[in-house]
Amino acid sequence: MSDKKQNEQQVILTDNSRQLPAQFFKKSHDLLFSQLSLSPREHDIMALLLSRLHQEHWQSYIDGTAIRAPAYQFKSDVLCEWLGVSSTNLYNTLSGPAENLANRAIGIRQPDRKEFDFVSLFKRLSYKDAVLTIIPNDELMKEYLGVSQGHAQVDHHVFRKLKKEHSKRLYPLLSRFKNEAHTLHPQTIEELHGFFGLLNEKGQLIKTSFTNNKVFIDRCIRQPIEEIAKHDPNLEFLVSDTGTFGYKAIKSGRKIAKVEFLYRWRRPVNKQEQAERVKLANEVAPLDRAEMVYDLVQQFVPGDSGNPSVEELNTMMMYTAQLMESGRALDADFMAKFSVAMSEAMG
């Protein structure tokens, strides 16, 4: 990595794909539940930025020694590999989505007021001399960096295989809730409209055909679930009692009022996935690592080669307050599993 200051702005250059995480990128809870509508390519560019973002890059901006938020630069080799295109088609692939993305606004939820604030995603986004430069909007620093408040850990290999816009929106949401103690509750149709970026600043549907729930569910729920199921072997979708795959429509009278997602995450079992997880654990921040160990304990399988060590378990317990804040219950059931995990680790 060659990080340097230019005109009092931190520049984070990515000229090798190895500078990106091997398997996962993180998306903060606030970004996840924002109102945002992006095309598939725009989603890929956003995911590339999120893969590279790290709080330490913003330190000089936070402490006032830099006057602007950091600029993230990606060279063509990295872009070609990430987007899966040849260098000759890179300009065509990037020019349209980059232009659109530069003008995108994101609706950030204001829970106290039950409102959304719409804010530009980026201060600047340009592609010149085979280098993509992205300057995130510093007004969204909390949303970009706020992974300690809870985040989705998204497999970018799977994410990049997804072709549908709504699949790329739904997959991180399902990645946010990976264990049975921390589940995604049934979502109202209105909440889902917002989640899929279908509402304007007045809360009205931008795409009028989605007032028809059948169309909305078919395009935003059913088809994305089928696509995700094809590409992620660790995510198992269940069939509802009415025969729908991966979701259940909850009706109020004859109208669909809510949608419940029916899925569970399988434990990664092969050695390569295990190795990736261990590598990730060594890369991530302590709290993120604690959350990962928590999830391992929740899904504890005796004798599994990937079970946590004594050190990992002890470190996790140093973060109990933060774990509880992020919705991870340390109840009797969890502590019973923890005890078994510790016994095995010590044995």
Interface with DNA (CB under 7 A), residue from 61, 74, 171, 210 = 210
Residue 163 lies near DNA (rule: CB under 7 A): yes
Instruction: Verify binding: residue 103, DNA, rule CB under 7 A.
Output: no
Work out how close the CB of 121 gets to DNA at its nearest, in angstroms, rounded to a whole number: 15
CA distance 141 to 154: 20
Q: Which of 319, 340, 341 is nearest to 328 (CA)?
A: 319
* Total chain residues near DNA (CB under 7 A): 36
* 246 alpha carbon, distance to own chain's centre: 20
Q: Which of 21, 97, 107, 246 binds DNA (CB under 7 A)?
A: 97
Q: Count CB neighbours of 47 within 10 A.
A: 20
By beta-carbon proximity to DNA, the closer residue of 118 and 265 is: 118
Nearer to DNA by Cβ, of 226 and 273: the residue is: 226
By CB under 7 A, tell whether 164 contacts DNA: yes
Note whether 157 binds DNA by CB under 7 A. Answer: no
From residue 129 to residue 148, what is the string marking binding to DNA with x (rule CB under 7 A)? --------------------
The mark string for 241-270 relative to DNA (x by CB under 7 A, - otherwise) is: ------------xxxx--------------
Per CB under 7 A, which region of 9-17, 160-168, 178-186, 308-316 contacts DNA?
160-168
Among 123, 182, 219, 258, binds DNA (CB under 7 A): 219
Among 208, 272, 282, 305, binds DNA (CB under 7 A): 208
CB burial class (10 A; 0-12, 13-18, 19+) of residue 155? buried
The answer to whether 91 contacts DNA (rule: CB under 7 A) is yes
The mark string for 20-39 relative to DNA (x by CB under 7 A, - otherwise) is: -----------------x-x
Q: Which residue, 37 or 51, has its beta carbon nearer to DNA?
A: 37
Site for DNA in 58-87 (CB under 7 A): 83-85
Smallest gap from residue 228 Cβ to DNA (A): 12
Q: 94, exposed or middle or buried, with CB in 10 Å at 0-12, 13-18, 19+?
A: buried
> Which has the closest alpha carbon to 118: 29, 35, 193?
35
Q: Which residues bind DNA (CB under 7 A)?
A: 37, 39-42, 83-85, 88-89, 91-93, 96-97, 100, 163-167, 207-210, 212-215, 217, 219, 223, 253-256
